């Protein structure tokens, strides 16, 4: 649909190369142009228009969670992660333009792009990855492992049916460090992430069972089996299954975590190894693991 609209605009303006012209502009010039366009557009908006837009715009509705109770719920999780060795960060509501699309297999149309070369955060793990890569570079990629976490409200543009909203909170973790050989980094920190997530979920009496699916991300994957063996041998009282998928987002292994509440199973957490730190730092020895828990969904499922 967007291509048809763009085609119509180019035809009506008699500028067949309009998109190419705008794309080739320096970012500063394009920002200045768009800021002027939006400035003039806002001058046409009356207070009644504003109220009407607020009522109809699906991106701006407030969450229906109990705000104070949810903050307490978030704080408890962040404190648990801090005790586990993660540094909690309060992130910006925006990230650099292309934070998802430039390093991962995410279409930019799923992200709310903004001015000044930014976008509304659609996945805080990408922003944590940028922070981790920046900090790792400052230490000249030393042997010290970096663990970062946050709770962040994400906004994604694909339509979701009510009562779901396009914005929601996720707890995110990123671990970054140097390749130690023999899959030592991967084994240690996969166990750390999965153990932290599953122990946290098992701590709720309403959670009847926890299940983790370990997914091989490609067919020819000799490292998948030893990683699975380590995870299953180290983490107890959790049901593990394995699958094979073909997807480029995660490297070697992806894990998905499910909980059973009132005899119904829900996917609640996801994670895996990524090559983002290698791409960002141009250093093939860098390693990174990301994961996230749908904390707002969990809060609602637990009936808080």
Q: State pLDDT tens for residues 84-116.
A: 999 999 999 999 999 999 998 889 999 999 999
The ranges assigned to domains in the chain are 2-56, 67-301
**Beta strands 118-120 and 286-293, pairing class:** unpaired
- Whether 167 has a pLDDT exceeding 90, the answer reads yes
The neighbouring-strand residues paired with 289 are 175, 273
Question: 170, 296 in Cβ contact below 8 A?
Answer: yes
Q: What is the pLDDT of residue 105?
A: 83
Q: What is the pLDDT of residue 163?
A: 85
Q: CA-CA distance, 139 to 136, in Å (whole number)?
A: 5
Q: CA-CA distance, 253 to 287, in Å (whole number)?
A: 13
Tens-digit pLDDT profile for residues 199-243:
999 999 999 999 999 999 988 899 999 999 999 999 988 999 999
Q: What is the pLDDT of residue 162?
A: 86
Q: What is the mean pLDDT of the chain?
A: 95
Over 109-145, what HEC string results? Answer: HHCCECCCCEEECCCHHHHHHHHHHHHHHHCCCCCCC
- Whether 279 has a pLDDT exceeding 80, the answer reads yes
Q: What is the mean pLDDT of residues 23-32?
A: 92
Q: What is the pLDDT of residue 133?
A: 97
Q: What is the pLDDT of residue 247?
A: 85
- Whether 2 has a pLDDT exceeding 90, the answer reads no
Q: CA-CA distance, 304 to 77, in Å (whole number)?
A: 15
Q: What is the pLDDT of residue 3?
A: 84
Q: What percent of the chain has pLDDT over 70?
A: 100
Q: What is the mean pLDDT of residues 31-42?
A: 93
Tens-digit pLDDT profile for residues 45-71:
999 999 999 999 999 999 999 999 999
Measured at the alpha carbon of residue 284, what is the angle toward residues 283 and 287, in degrees to the nearest 5?
A: 95
Q: What percent of the chain has pLDDT over 90?
A: 89
Tens-digit pLDDT profile for residues 241-272:
999 988 889 999 999 999 999 999 999 999 99
Topology, domain 67-301: BirA Bifunctional Protein; domain 2 (3.30.930)
Q: What is the pLDDT of residue 134?
A: 97
Query: Which residue, chain included where needed, has tokens 């939006």?
Result: 38
Instruction: Name the DSSP class of 108.
Output: G
């Amino acid at each position: 649909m967007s291509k048809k609209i763009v085609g119509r605009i180019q035809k009506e303006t008699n500028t067949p190369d309009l998109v190419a012209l705008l794309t080739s502009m320096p970012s500063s010039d394009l920002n200045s142009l768009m800021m002027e366009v939006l400035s003039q557009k806002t001058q046409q908006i009356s207070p009644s228009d504003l109220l009407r837009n607020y009522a109809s715009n699906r991106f701006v509705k407030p969450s229906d969670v109990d705000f104070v109770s949810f903050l307490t719920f978030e704080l408890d999780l962040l404190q648990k992660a801090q005790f586990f060795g993660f540094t909690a960060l309060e992130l910006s509501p925006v990230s650099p333009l292309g934070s998802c699309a430039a390093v991962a297999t995410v279409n930019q149309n799923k992200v709310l792009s903004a001015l000044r070369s930014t976008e509304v955060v659609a996945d805080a793990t990408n922003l944590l990855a940028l922070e981790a890569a920046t900090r790792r570079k400052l230490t000249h990629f030393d042997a010290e492992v970096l663990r970062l976490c946050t709770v962040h409200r994400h906004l994604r543009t694909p339509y979701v049916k009510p009562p779901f909203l396009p914005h929601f909170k996720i707890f995110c973790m990123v671990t970054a460090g140097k390749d130690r050989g023999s899959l030592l980094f991967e084994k240690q920190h996969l166990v750390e992430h999965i153990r932290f997530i599953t122990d946290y979920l098992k701590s709720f009496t309403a959670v009847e069972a926890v299940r983790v699916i370990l997914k091989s991300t490609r067919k020819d994957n000799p490292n998948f089996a030893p990683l699975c063996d380590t995870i299953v041998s180290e983490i107890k009282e959790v049901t593990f299954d394995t699958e094979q998928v073909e997807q480029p987002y995660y490297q070697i292994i992806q894990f998905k975590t499910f909980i059973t509440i009132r005899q119904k199973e829900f996917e609640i957490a996801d994670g895996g190894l990524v090559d983002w730190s290698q791409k960002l730092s141009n250093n093939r020895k860098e390693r990174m693991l990301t994961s996230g828990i749908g904390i707002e969904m969990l809060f609602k499922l637990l009936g808080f």
